[in-house]
């Protein structure tokens, strides 16, 4: 019996698996990839070009090494929510380049770019962002945000938030 791989990528409905003709995830983000080699490293990769607009993955590929007849799981960490290019400011000035932004679920980290511009993915409609760029209390701030319902018009929402 040939081994197979069970792919778990919640929220990535209809996402194709690279190098597997006709194999894509179901409405929940699951699929089975047949015909893998036993006792060898097998790479399973999501085709990121076919991800839904509201989904992102931290790593698009996994390596599994099944035994003969086994069904092995390849799990992907997914972020489902809006993709946002957010201008983060404090006291009217952009936050420093390289500051770390963490979501309120503490599950995702992002980096502030030039001029306070920050790309964030998997954001819910409302939330809190925690920002730090040093050890002092003055080098930490919190930003509350509410996104407009633009995500049906464009894949990346432009937004701004004031850090306090």
**Mean predicted confidence (pLDDT) in 40-66:** 93
Give dist(CA 119, CA 29) in Å, integer. 24
Q: Distance between alpha carbon 124 and the CA centroid of its chain, in Å? A: 12
pLDDT digits (tens, 9 = 90+) for 70-128: 999 999 999 899 999 999 999 999 999 999 999 987 778 999 999 999 999 989 999 99
How sure is the predictor about 31, in pLDDT bands with cuts at 50, 70 and 90?
very high
Proportion of the chain above pLDDT 70, given as a percent: 97
Please, where in the chain does CATH 2.60.40.2610 lie? Answer: 4-79
How sure is the predictor about 42, in pLDDT bands with cuts at 50, 70 and 90?
very high
Of 40 and 53, more confident: 40
- Res 159: pLDDT: 94
* Homologous superfamily of domain range 4-79: Outer membrane usher protein FimD, plug domain (2.60.40.2610)
How sure is the predictor about 151, in pLDDT bands with cuts at 50, 70 and 90?
low
Proportion of the chain above pLDDT 90, given as a percent: 70
Question: What helix, strand, coil percent values describe the chain, rounded to 5?
Answer: 5, 50, 45
- Res 153: pLDDT: 65
Question: In the predicted model, is pLDDT for residue 24 greater than 80?
Answer: yes
Question: In the predicted model, is pLDDT for residue 63 greater than 80?
Answer: yes
Domain 81-162 has CATH 2.60.40.2070: yes
Please, where in the chain does CATH 2.60.40.2070 lie? Answer: 81-162
Q: Which residues pair with 8 in a beta bridge?
A: 30, 75
User: Do the beta carbons of residue 164 and residue 129 sit within 8 Å?
Assistant: no
Mean pLDDT of the chain: 91
């Amino acid at each position: 019996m040939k081994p197979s791989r069970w792919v778990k990528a919640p929220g990535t409905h209809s996402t194709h698996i690279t190098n597997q003709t006709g194999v894509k995830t179901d409405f929940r983000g699951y699929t089975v990839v047949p015909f893998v080699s036993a006792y060898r490293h097998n790479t399973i990769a999501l085709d990121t070009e076919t991800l839904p607009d509201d989904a992102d993955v931290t790593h698009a590929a996994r390596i599994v090494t099944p035994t003969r007849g086994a069904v092995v799981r390849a799990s992907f960490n997914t972020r489902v929510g809006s993709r946002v290019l957010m201008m983060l400011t404090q006291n009217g000035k952009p936050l420093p380049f390289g500051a770390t932004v963490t979501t309120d679920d503490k599950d995702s980290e992002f980096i502030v770019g030039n001029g306070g511009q920050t790309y964030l993915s998997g954001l819910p409609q409302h939330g809190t962002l925690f920002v730090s760029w040093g050890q002092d209390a003055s080098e930490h701030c919190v930003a509350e945000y509410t996104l407009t319902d633009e995500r049906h018009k464009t894949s990346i929402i432009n937004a701004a938030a004031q850090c306090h």
